[in-house]
Amino acid sequence: MTDVQREKVEQLVAKVRTSACGFYRAHWGKAERFEDLPLMDVERFIATPFGERTYKVEKGLVKIVRAYRAPFLVHWSLEDLKAEQFGDSTGKRPLVLLSDSHEALEKSLWFYEHDILPLIGEPNNPPVVSYAANKYDIDALVTDDKAVPPFLSEHEKQNNMKAVAVVLIGSSFEPALLRRLESSSKNVTPVLSLPETGTFGMACPKNRGAKERHFHPSDNSVLEIKDGELIVTKLVYLRTPVIRYRTGIRAEQFASGSDCGESPFRLVS
Partner 1 sequence: MHTKEDLQNVLPMANEALLAAYAAGEQADHFVFHLSSGTSGGIPLLRVAHHPGGVLPRFRNARRTAVFAGSRMIRLNNAFYFLRTDTPPEASLLLLDFADLDSRAAELLRDFDPDYLIGSPSFLAHLFRLPLDPSVLPSVSRITLMGERSSKNFSDFLKSCFPDALLENSYALAEIGGVGISCRYLPFGQFHPVRNVSITVADPDAEGVGELVVSKKGEHSDVREYRTGDCGRSLPAHCVCGSPAFEVFGRIGYDYVKIAGAQLRTEEFERVASELDLYFSDFRAEARMVKVGKGERASLRLIVAPRGSLLQDPEIQALVAGEFARRLFVTPSKTLENLVAEGIFLPLRLKLAHTPFPAENKAVKLRFIHD
CA dist 122 and 126 (Å) reads 7
Which residues contact residue 36 at a Cβ distance below 8 angstroms, ignoring those fewer than 6 apart? none
For partner 1, the closer of residues 112 and 254 by Cβ is 112
Residues 46-85 interacting with partner 1 (rule: CB under 8 A)? 49-51, 57-64, 70-73, 75, 78
Residue whose CB is less far from partner 1, 30 or 135? 135
Sequence letter at residue 67:
A
Among 119, 141, 230, 267, binds partner 1 (CB under 8 A): 119
Whether the CB-CB separation of 234 and 200 falls below 8 Å is answered with yes
* Pairing of the two strands 229-234 and 245-253: antiparallel
Nearer to partner 1 by Cβ, of 114 and 206: the residue is 114
Distance in Å, CB of 200 to partner 1, minimum: 23
- Any residues with CB less than 8 A from the CB of 26 and at least 6 apart, and which? none
From 101, 184, 207, 258, residue interacting with partner 1 (rule: CB under 8 A) = 101
Q: Is 108 in the site for partner 1 (CB under 8 A)?
A: yes
Among 191, 229, 224, 219, CA closest to 103: 191
The verdict on 115 binding partner 1 (CB under 8 A) reads yes
One residue of 102, 213, 216, 234 binding partner 1 per CB under 8 A: 102
Q: Rule CB under 8 A: is residue 232 a binding residue for partner 1?
A: no
What is the distance between the alpha carbons of residues 260 and 148, in angstroms, rounded to a whole number? 29
> Based on C-alpha coordinates, what's the Rg of the chain?
19
Chain residues in the site for partner 1 (CB under 8 A): 49-51, 57-64, 70-73, 75, 78, 92-93, 101-102, 104-105, 108-109, 111-112, 114-122, 128, 131-132, 135-136
